[in-house]
Structure 1
């Protein structure tokens, strides 16, 4: 497991790759260090508070392996934080990371709460209209975390998994149930066993479960 880059940015209005104006916190700048609080990184933020941010979604992580794949598929270079992640990492793919896992990075400790649900802002940011759809199809969405311990993180810090959740519900598994197996009673119940699951996902999954009967 390796930390590749740290990126932060306040919401701002920027012209995207197509020349369209977009106000979002997805446009971030790479930094060598940043202080992480319960609410997220200092000098970082979101524009859409309904769908982004909050204690359960304080940190967004994404794998550099996915950028390499997207670069080949779409034949273009992707800059760091092209999809708005705070931490770009390596060897931390969704199929190997569990909801409830805890990681130490520098002075901080974070806990995985949910997979990321991509939104159309990603398409607007990159100018690639199929990207959001492809992220959902592949499950290469990244994931979100809450902050267990605040502290400073530098881009040379090691990432260490200090707790592996015993339920072993991977981000990939949760993604497949959430998007493609909405009628899987067993699958939904497996995810709901994880107490560390983000509240918003818990509410949505409980509604899905109630519809199954």
Structure 2
């Protein structure tokens, strides 16, 4: 399990980038090692800080294996960083990671916090028909990570899973549950100590069904 590519990007103006009209989704691979700060990677920007600026969204990881699957689906090449991720991984089941598990990458310690939720900027950036529905249906969202211990990392670094909750929800289950999958929501609700937001989601779903 290793980091295939480290990707950063600067904000730029774009008419298609939602109400803000600005985005930093275009992440590009860098050849050097990068400092990992509390709020993300050095040299990386996030334009939409209200939605993407939280400490729980400091770093975004996506698996090369999922890119390869998407290439088959879309019939086009997808370079590392195309989905806006900071870390492109190889040999790591990012979507099967448990929320709360921790990764040692280089000298930094990162914690999985949840799935990426696709937005209108991502849809417009990809320019694929029905992209949000297709991305949601595939349930290959990649994972957001918080920075527990700052450090530095680079392409080629191994990813060591240093701790993992005894019971927990996977990134994929959290993603599916947020998008109306009743079985996934049941698995999330079975996790001891789950956040109250999941009970609220279940209650809303119950009212809708009723």
**Structure-2-length-normalised TM-score:** 0.85
The aligned runs of 1:129-208 (5 Å cut-off) are 129-181=129-181, 186-191=186-191, 193-194=193-194, 202=195, 204-208=197-201
Over the aligned positions, Cα root-mean-square deviation in angstroms equals 2.3
| Contact 2:103-2:109 at 8 Å conserved across structures | yes
Structure 1, unpaired ranges of 5+ = 17-21, 195-201
Q: How many residues align?
A: 201
> For 1:128-181, what per-residue CA distance to the aligned partner results, in whole angstroms no more than 9, with x for missing partners?
133332121111110101001101111121111001111132112222222123
- What's the CA shift for 1:183? 9.0
Structure 2, unpaired ranges of 5+ = none
Q: Runs of at least 4 residues of structure 1 off by over 6 A?
A: none
SS at 1:137's partner residue?
helix
SS at 1:133's partner residue?
helix
SS at 1:26's partner residue?
coil
Q: Is 1:24 equivalent to 2:23 in the alignment?
A: yes
> For 1:100-148, what per-residue CA distance to the aligned partner results, in whole angstroms no more than 9, with x for missing partners?
1100000100000111101122222222133332121111110101001
Alignment correspondent of 1:51: 51
**Structure-1-length-normalised TM-score:** 0.84
CA distance in 1, matches of 2:139, 2:150: 29
SS at 1:162's partner residue?
strand
CA distance in 1, matches of 2:48, 2:156: 31
> For 1:35-61, what per-residue CA distance to the aligned partner results, in whole angstroms no more than 9, with x for missing partners?
111100111121112221210110100
CA distance in 2, matches of 1:88, 1:138: 18
